Amino acid sequence: MRIAAASLIIGGTFIGAFQNRNLNRASGSYLNNLFAQLNDDDKHDPKYAVGSLNVANGLEATLFAAEPMLTNPTNIDVDARGRVWVCEAYNYRPAINGNPTHKEGDRIVILEDTNGDGKADLTKVFYQDPSIESPLGIWVQGNKVIVSDSPNVWVLTDENGDDKADKKELLFTGIGGEQHDHGMHTFVFGPDGKWYFNFGNEGGQLLDKDNNAVVDIATGKTINKQNFKQGMVFRCDPDGKNVEVLGQNFRNNYEIAVDSYGTLWQSDNDDDGNKGVRINYVMEYGNYGYTDEMTGAGWQANRDNLEPEIPRRHWHLNDPGVVPNLLQTGAGSPTGILVYEGNLLPETFRNQVIHCDAGPNVVRSYPVQKEGAGYKAQIVNILEGARDQWFRPADVCVAPDGSLIIADWYDPGVGGHQAGDQNRGRVYRVAPPNSPYTMPKVDVSTTDGAIDALQSPNMAIRYAGWQKLHSMGAKAEKSLVKLYKSSANPRMQARALWLLSQLDNGRKYIETALKSPNPDLRITGLRAARERKTDIIPYLKQLVNDPDTQVRRECILALRRNTSPEAPALWAQLASQYDGNDRWYLEALGIGADGNWDSYYTAWLNQVKGDPIANAAGRDIVWRARTKESVPLLAKLAGDPTVLVNQRLRYFRAFDFNPGATEKSTALLGILQTNNGSTEVTKLALRHLDPAFVRDSPVATNALAKLINDVYGTPEYLELVTRFEPVSENNRLKQLALTKAMDGMGRDAARQLLKQGGAPLVWDVLNGPDAEATMNMLMALRRIGNKESINILKTVALDTKRPASVRKEATRSLGGSMEGADLVLDLLKSGAITGDYKKAAAQGVSNDWRKNIRQQAASYLDGGQSAEGKKLPGINELLAMKGDAAKGVSVFKNNCSICHQVNGEGMDFGPKLSEIGSKLPREGQYLAILHPDAGISFGFEGWEVKFKDGSSMTGIVSSKTETDLQMKFPGGVVQNYKMADVVSMKQIDSSMMPSGLQEAMSTQELVDLVEYLTSLKKK
């Protein structure tokens, strides 16, 4: 029976309570008690959906639509008639999650409320085709619909008004991330008439409809992975011309929002589990720090001046050239975003960013305040999945009446290649109580009607009004001037200004705006002048001493790549107003100087009175500079013996970003000669010197020798030996391999020893009389996995003249790498490994990520014992069992902590799980454990890497640059390689989390583990 027993007792009151739209936080405990009485089927029934949510004071939520009208909504738009257009993703990642598919492809669905009761009662399929697979973006512009579906962006046109697509055209193609959450996202309309869009860090490149590479008009560079980094934000003309990169180096920036002043807002997802989800004010042309700006190295790669907290380290926030974050919101899976510029919602939400985060089941607002050249923000929840963790808000839009329309993916998981439920999906409407879903009259055939439309909070209506007024040209001028002069809302003034600025006489309106008492309108005027490609120098002269910091910020950005002979002095004048405390302003200076650092920096030096680095502002500008002219002062700051070394780390790090190669080497050598023997300073200087320069410099060579001796036995020792490869260290590498055989340092020492031609030293140990040293060397060789180490282990394992204990250890160690495990199977099949050595072989591959390898090896044991355990109950039966979270802690430590961390405890390999209970309900936890291949977190995919020496390694690529590769392995082991040694890299389809993990525990232990994981929630 689907109706819970309690509902039979209290009848209609039970269901009515859930459907009562006025029940908010005040009645939370009442709803909690009622919801707890529901069985699992009823908890997921749409009739209880609203009751499962908490809604902000002054608002109510209503269910606009639910399954079977739609399923798995990834993105929505609301048209001028209030109809909700939905991108569905039933066919989401079937190759990974194994779910069934619709051979007809995914759908674009229209949901319509025809009787005005605020609920959709009519559904239409606008388009369905096999070429549409898990689309992530939709924008309805009149009779055209732009659908983002990597690798393509399609324009679908309804030519006869029957709500069916009659024509399908390609806008962009070649975008990476096919069937991937980190590909192309939504297009939106800007107040300037431009189109704004973004893609995540799987996007990679942009090709036009004819497969030609698209070029960034600002820099002339082709938009690809070589010229720009990771996720990007773009602006283009209608129809996709004149594309401009506005920001880069995001991880998965799901959507872009543009306010009426032309300011950009965006969210970005961290590598799962690092509590680093962020909201960004996108300062144009900025670098946002997901990877190292210069090398592309990941955030986990070692570097000077590391941020102490991982959520900040994740974005390289201590590096010069990284724009700060507006807000960091912790763990999550951020999705749709907008700027609400309507009047229906309460005041606290007006003109603010509103955003969905599917991970913690919440829709939030982020009220912002100006702070210097940037902003600060707080968090105010709007809609929260308080009683049902399946609430997964994927997108939010503004309806014509100013209400919010929110799409709910509704699933036990949050995507990430996994869909636990394919048949559900919801759409909610959020508005003040007793606000009927009404559609304002829209008539853009008249000028007054178009002016009204321009002021709509709904993008589709605003787009229609903008297009009409723009097409009217001078005929709309009088009405636009009236709006600009008479509106009490500066955002509406800004909308009028954008259109006025594009008239033939638009300059006069720009010049009027630059004199406005409202700094936001001065900013809008300057932005409009830049888009007109007019000479902005006269305007910058007018604004260079503006009392508003944000206006001066825009002046600085406007100087980027400016070739006027007056530009350097203007930049210097703006730089002189930096107060030493505003990172936003400092980064604006860096962006503004791009392409002109030499002349801009020289102009600043010439106008500084006294010592340029006497104050914090001057020191910051030297730190941020990208010119060889700044090296002398940078070296002075880095080498200042009167300042503590940890306070000079930022200056050593700045050397990495300065282009003056010769000047840097000379300066760092000078620091080496004058550092009074400080090991820490020597280490810093050598880290930033080129190895070839060190080998050619007696001073640097001597300093290196002394430092290597001073730091022997530490990670810094191995870092230095790996970087400079001194053969003279081979004996000490051998000794380190023996004394640290059980940990990563010993393995790394053995690997480096072999790389430096030290194999004879290894054989000296293996053939020597010291049994303990022999065993230690075998263990140190275990995880190296190159051809030489595997041959050594094989030779010892099969040598019948050696002691049995030595042969067994060699056999065990042989299975410690992917190539070695494959060889173990070959040796078992051929009969080369026999008797008790078969047990050692099976033990050696027991931690291999490939289940078939483990099972095949075990099958050679006497009796052919299968690795398959007793069949587990189904998920529904497991959900009904009661777990003990306290016992689950022990299960976690015994089975999971080798790869996962909780609150800093455990090994850093897979996603951190400190707040996993806030992201996944019990169903999702079981799916992740029982079917790990179905939901591999992005950034934690396994890679098989083959090297020139014949070895291969399988692990997670935590950082990859043109020259260096860093991989992580179970147990938290991290290893660095040179890309010059890499032959190929292939992503594996299976999860690095071993399938069959549950076989190592009883059913009750599994239930206890899930109970514990579910308890790990954001505090």
Calpha distance 52→32 (Å, rounded): 8
DSSP H or E stretch at residue 247: strand 244-250
- Per DSSP, 906 falls in state E
* pLDDT single digits (tens) 749-806: 999 999 999 999 999 999 999 999 999 999 999 988 889 999 999 999 999 999 999 9
The rounded mean pLDDT for the chain is: 90
Which residues of the chain carry a pLDDT beneath 50?
1-14, 20-26, 863-869
Nearest to 274 by CA among 249, 309, 306, 307: 309
Sign (positive/negative) of CA torsion 800, 801, 804, 810? negative
The owner of tokens 């459907």 is: 19
Question: Residue 998: what pLDDT?
Answer: 66
CA atoms within 13 A on the CB side of 44: 17
Secondary structure (DSSP) of 351-411? TEEEEEETTTTEEEEE-EEEETTEEEE--EEEEE-SS-TT--EEEEEE-TTS-EEEEE---
Residues 6+ away with beta carbon under 8 Å from 9 = none
Residue 14: CB atoms within 10 Å: 20
pTM, two decimals, is: 0.85
The owner of tokens 């019948």 is: 800
* pLDDT single digits (tens) 290-315: 999 999 999 988 899 999 999 999 99
Both tokens of 279, joined, read: 């909201």
Calpha distance 500→473 (Å, rounded): 9
The owner of tokens 């940037």 is: 374
Q: Map residue 147 onto helix, strand or coil.
A: strand
Asked if 952 contacts 819 with a C-beta cutoff of 8 angstroms, the reply is: yes
For the chain, how far is it from start to end, CA to CA, in angstroms? 37
Residue 363: CB atoms within 10 Å: 29
Spell out the long-range contacts of 494-498 with Cβ–Cβ below 8 A and sequence spacing 24 or more: 494/191, 494/260, 494/261, 494/262, 494/520, 494/521, 494/524, 495/191, 495/260, 495/454, 495/455, 495/462, 495/466, 496/454, 497/521, 497/524, 497/525, 497/528, 498/191, 498/192, 498/193, 498/262, 498/524, 498/528
- Describe the strand order of the beta sheet including 122-129 as a list of residue ranges: 73-78, 84-88, 106-112, 122-129
Question: Residue 871: what pLDDT?
Answer: 67
- Cα–Cα distances (Å) from 452 to 338, 346, 347, 458, 909, in that order, read 21, 22, 21, 12, 55
- Cα–Cα distances (Å) from 947 to 703, 819, 942, 977, in that order, read 33, 11, 16, 9
- Cα–Cα distances (Å) from 622 to 285, 615, 617, 648, in that order, read 21, 11, 9, 13
Both tokens of 53, joined, read: 């949510």
Calpha distance 143→125 (Å, rounded): 15
Question: Residue 419: what pLDDT?
Answer: 83
DSSP H or E stretch at residue 806: helix 804-814
Nearest to 583 by CA among 376, 752, 743: 376
Nearest to 370 by CA among 554, 178, 211: 554
**CA 353, chain centre distance (Å):** 19
Q: Residue 873, preceding bond cis, omega within 30 degrees?
A: no
Q: Residue 151, preceding bond cis, omega within 30 degrees?
A: yes
- Describe the strand order of the beta sheet including 973-978 as a list of residue ranges: 973-978, 964-969, 952-960, 942-947, 982-987
Residue 186 identity (one-letter amino acid): T
Residue-wise burial string across 54-86, b where 16 or more C-beta atoms lie within 10 A, e elsewhere: bbbeebbbbbbbbbebbbbbbbbbbbbebbbbb
Asked if 844 contacts 861 with a C-beta cutoff of 8 angstroms, the reply is: no
Residue 766: CB atoms within 10 Å: 20
Question: Residue 259: what pLDDT?
Answer: 98
Residues 6+ away with beta carbon under 8 Å from 1019 = none
